[in-house]
């Protein structure tokens, strides 16, 4: 076994109201379950205290790591650079705003006993998407279309809450997606490479503090283009 069991990668922009509490909750859930973990926060020029808070925590807990990017943006490349910096045998991607429940991380991690990739899903029995109606409808329609284009069995391919073995990351290589399309890039490439996937329901909570940086209408088009590119050029 490697020194680190689980690396949790969290992209952030202005999440000072969430990040300390999230790191604390992850520590409670993972360390208390006997897992050696690390948290890699990839921050893009937050103008609030996000980066300062993470570096303060990392000074007392070396399992918490900060990658501060300057003049850069994009969840996709943040996740990829977080992967490159991480050491865990298992890697988990999650948002900083509690939309992905920290208490569900160990459920995804446990699924790694039987599968190579575990996809957190809002769109299967037991899962739920709590968000404004327009956002829910657009997300559902987008997921239907993406499933068709990429021929996926997974019901939620844009959720961003995924656990994967490091061997999967080593095989699929660079993540080219710029934003939340990293989710279906990982799902599609790992499926195409022959890895096993499972879907685990989770209840998505709409953020209660801080602001969403997603414009789903704009991203809808970006996602469609990127799905078509994946289909035409990947592997």
Ligand X SMILES: Nc1nc2c(ncn2[C@@H]2O[C@H](COP(=O)(O)OP(=O)(O)O)[C@@H](O)[C@H]2O)c(=O)[nH]1
Applying CB under 5 A, the residues found at the interface with Mg ion are: 95, 97, 99
Q: How far apart are the first and last CA of the chain?
A: 30
| Structure tokens that stand for 111 in this block | 């699924």
* 29 interface partner picked from Mg ion, ligand X, none, CB below 5 to 8 A per type: none
Binding mask 52-81 for ligand X (x = CB under 6 A): ---------------------xxx--x---
- Taking CB under 6 A as the rule, does residue 95 contact ligand X? yes
Supply the minimum distance, in Å, between the C-beta of residue 73 and ligand X: 4
Residue 75 near residue 11 (C-beta atoms within 8 A): yes
Stretch that binds ligand X, among 29-37, 95-103, 140-148, 187-195 (CB under 6 A): 95-103
Whichever of 213 and 225 has its CB closer to ligand X, that residue is: 213
What is the enclosing helix (H) or strand (E) of 162? strand 162-165
* 130 or 214: CB nearest ligand X: 214
Q: Which two tokens stand for residue 26?
A: 């992850």
How many whole angstroms separate alpha carbon 40 and alpha carbon 23?
10
Distance CA 141, CA 199 (A): 19
Sole binder of ligand X in the list 130, 134, 167, 214 (CB under 6 A): 214
C-beta closer to ligand X: residue 12 or 226: 12
Phi, psi of 63 (to 5 degrees): -75, -10
What is the β-pairing status of strands 117-121 and 197-201?
parallel
Which residues, other chains included, contact 82 with Cβ-Cβ below 8 Å and sequence gap of 6+?
7, 9, 10, 11, 40, 42, 67, 93
Which lies closer to ligand X via its Cβ, residue 153 or residue 215?
A: 215
If one asks whether residue 218 binds ligand X (CB under 6 A), the answer comes out as no
Which residues are near ligand X by CB under 6 A? Answer: 11-13, 15, 42-44, 73-75, 78, 95-97, 99, 207, 212-214
């Amino acid at each position: 076994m490697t020194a680190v069991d689980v690396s949790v990668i969290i992209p952030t922009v202005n999440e000072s109201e969430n990040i300390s509490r999230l790191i604390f909750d992850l520590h409670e859930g993972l360390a208390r379950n006997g897992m050696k973990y690390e948290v890699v926060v990839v921050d893009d020029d937050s103008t609030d205290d996000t980066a300062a808070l993470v570096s303060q925590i990392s000074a007392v807990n070396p399992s918490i790591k900060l990658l501060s990017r300057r003049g850069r943006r994009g969840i996709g490349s943040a996740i990829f650079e977080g992967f490159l910096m991480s050491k865990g045998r298992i890697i988990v991607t999650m948002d900083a705003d509690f939309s992905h429940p920290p208490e569900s991380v160990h459920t995804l991690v446990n699924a790694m006993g039987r599968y190579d990739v575990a996809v957190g899903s809002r769109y299967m029995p037991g899962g739920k998407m709590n968000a404004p109606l327009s956002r829910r409808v657009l997300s559902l329609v987008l997921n239907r279309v993406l499933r068709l284009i990429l021929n996926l069995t997974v019901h939620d391919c844009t959720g961003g809450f995924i656990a994967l073995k490091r061997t999967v990351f080593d095989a699929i290589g660079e993540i080219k997606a710029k934003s939340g399309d990293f989710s279906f890039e990982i799902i599609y490439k790992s499926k195409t490479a022959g890895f096993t996937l499972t879907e685990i329901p989770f209840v998505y909570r709409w953020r209660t503090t801080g602001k969403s940086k997603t414009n789903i209408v704009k991203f809808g088009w970006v996602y469609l283009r990127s799905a078509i590119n994946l289909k035409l050029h990947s592997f």
